[in-house]
Amino acid sequence: MSEQTSAAGSIATNGQRHRKLLFLLFAGFVLSGIATTIVGPMLPVFIRRWSLDDGQAGLFSSIQFLAALAGTLASSFIASWYGYRPALVLGYALMGGGLACLNADTHSLALAATAAFGLGYGLITPGTNLFVAELGGAKSASLLNLLNFTWGAGAMACSPLIALALRRDAVGSLLVGFAIFGGFIVLGLLFASFGPEHHQQDAKATNAGSPRVGLAVTIALAALFFIYVGTETSIGIWAAEYAKRLANGITGMTTLAPMFFYAGLTSGRASAPLFLARLPERKIVLGALSLAAGGTTLLIASTSLKIALIAVFLAGLGCASLYPIYIAWLSRWYGARAKSVGGILFALASLGGSAGPWLVGFVSKHAGSLGMGLLVPLAGAITMICLVLLLRRQTTA
C-alpha cells in the first residue's frame, strides 16, 4: 500500500514538474499533425504549378514517409545515447524549416522541403510518445490519448488553413507562421527541464516470460501495420486532388477534402472507447474495415463533390480505431518483446505510408484515371479484412 501511495505521489510530482514540458509536447503534436497531412491540400497546387503527372505527384508522399522512416530509426539511436531532447529539438527545427520552404518556386526544392519536415516528423514521434507515457505513469493511456487528439486537431486544421491562405494568396506567409511556431517549440524544449530519463528496462521485466507468438502471426501483424498506414495516407493525400477533378478546378471545398477524412478519423477515435467497452476488438476491427472499404468504394463511384466528401468522411471514420487496436495487439501478444518487435513494425508502417500514395499515383498514371488508382486503398482494406479473419484465434484469445 505504501509503495502505491509513493508511486502516486511520484506521478503527481512529475506532473507538476513537467507541466510546461507537456504543454510544449502537446503543442508540438499539433504542428506535427499539420506537417504530416499538408501534402494533401497542397498537391493540387503542385500539380498545376509544375504540370506534374500523378506518378510525379505521388513522389511527395513517398519522400515524406521515407524520410520519416529514417527519422524514426535515428530517433531511437539518439534517445538511447543522449536522451529525448536532442531528437526533439532537431526534429522540430527540421519540421519548421521544411514547412517554411514548401511553397518553393522549383519542384526539387519543394521535394527537399518535404523530406526535411518528414525527417523531423520521424524524429519527434517516437520520443514524444515514449516520454509522455513515461511521465504519465498510471495515467499514460489518458495522456497518450490526449496527445493523439492534438495531432488530429492539427491534421483537421491543416486543410481549412491552406484553403484560406490560397483564397488570400498568403500560402507563403502561412508556412512561415508554421515555421515560427516550430521555432518557439524548439526554444521551449532547449530550456525545458526533462528531469532524469530512464532508457533501460528492468532486467527482470525484460526477461519475464512473454507470450509465444508464431511466425505466421508476426507476418500477418506486420502486414496489417504496412497496409493500414499505406491505406490511410493514400486516401488522405489524394482526397483533395480527386475532389478537384470532380469539381473541374481548385475551390475552397476541394482543398478542404482532406479535412473531412481527418474529421472522420478524429471523431472515430473519440467514440472508440465506448464501443471497446461493449464489443470484442475483432468485431470492431472487421466493422471498421468494412466501413473504410465502403467509404472508399463510394468515393471511387462518386459523381459529385458532395458525395465524395461524405465518402471521404466515412473512410476516415472506418480507419479511426484500426491503428490503436493493432498497437494494442502488438503489446498484448508480445509482452516484454513488444518494444523490439515494435521497432520493425513501426518501420514497416512508415514504408507503407511511403508506398501507398505512390502506388495510387502509379496506377492512376498508367490507367488514366485517379479512380482506378484509388482501388489501391480499397484493395488494402479488403486485404486487412482477410488478415484479421485469419488471425481469428489470436484476436479472440
- The span from the CA of 141 to the CA of 147, in Å, is 10
Q: Are residues 165 and 268 in the same domain?
A: no
Q: Cβ contacts of residue 310 below 8 Å, gap of 6+?
A: 260, 298
CA dihedral of 371, 374, 376, 381, whole degrees rounded to 10: -130
The answer to whether residue 184 sits within a structural domain is: yes
Residue 233, SS3 per DSSP: helix
Q: Are residues 238 and 345 in the same domain?
A: yes
- The span from the CA of 350 to the CA of 148, in Å, is 17
> What is the value of pTM for the model shown?
0.74
- For residue 376 the three cell numbers come to 489501391
Q: Return the residue matching grid coordinates 507470450.
A: 211
Q: Is the dihedral of CA 124, 127, 129, 135 positive or negative?
A: negative
- The span from the CA of 237 to the CA of 120, in Å, is 19
Residue 230 gets the label, from left (phi > 0), alpha (psi -120 to 50) or beta, of alpha
Q: Are residues 174 and 220 in the same domain?
A: no
The answer to whether residue 94 sits within a structural domain is: yes
Q: Are residues 181 and 264 in the same domain?
A: no
The per-residue pLDDT for 17 is 59
Whether 374 contacts 300, CB under 8 Å = yes
The answer to whether residue 3 sits within a structural domain is: no
Q: Are residues 226 and 189 in the same domain?
A: no
- The span from the CA of 275 to the CA of 298, in Å, is 25
Q: What is the CATH number of the domain that holds 263?
A: 1.20.1250.20
Q: Are residues 187 and 282 in the same domain?
A: no
Q: How many structural domains is the chain composed of? A: 2
The answer to whether residue 2 sits within a structural domain is: no
Q: Are residues 173 and 308 in the same domain?
A: no
- The span from the CA of 103 to the CA of 215, in Å, is 45
The answer to whether residue 260 sits within a structural domain is: yes
The answer to whether residue 293 sits within a structural domain is: yes
101 φ, ψ (degrees, to nearest 5): -100, 5
The per-residue pLDDT for 396 is 57
- For residue 59 the three cell numbers come to 513522389
Q: Are residues 102 and 159 in the same domain?
A: yes
Whole domain around residue 88: which residue ranges?
A: 15-193
The per-residue pLDDT for 138 is 45
CA 301-260-280 angle, 5° bins: 85
Q: Are residues 317 and 217 in the same domain?
A: yes
- For residue 277 the three cell numbers come to 467497452
The answer to whether residue 253 sits within a structural domain is: yes
- Which amino acid would we find at residue 254? T
Task: Give the rounded distance of the alpha carbon of 167 from its chain centre.
Answer: 27
Q: Are residues 119 and 267 in the same domain?
A: no
Q: Are residues 169 and 255 in the same domain?
A: no
Whether 255 contacts 376, CB under 8 Å = no
Q: What is the b/e burial string over 31-44, where b = at least 16 CB atoms within 10 angstroms of the residue's CB?
A: bbbbbbbbbbbbbb
Q: Are residues 294 and 185 in the same domain?
A: no
10-residue mean pLDDT profile of the chain (397 residues): values are: 43 59 90 92 91 88 89 80 88 96 94 96 80 59 64 87 92 95 94 64 45 80 94 91 88 84 86 79 92 97 94 94 79 67 77 90 92 96 95 66
The answer to whether residue 346 sits within a structural domain is: yes
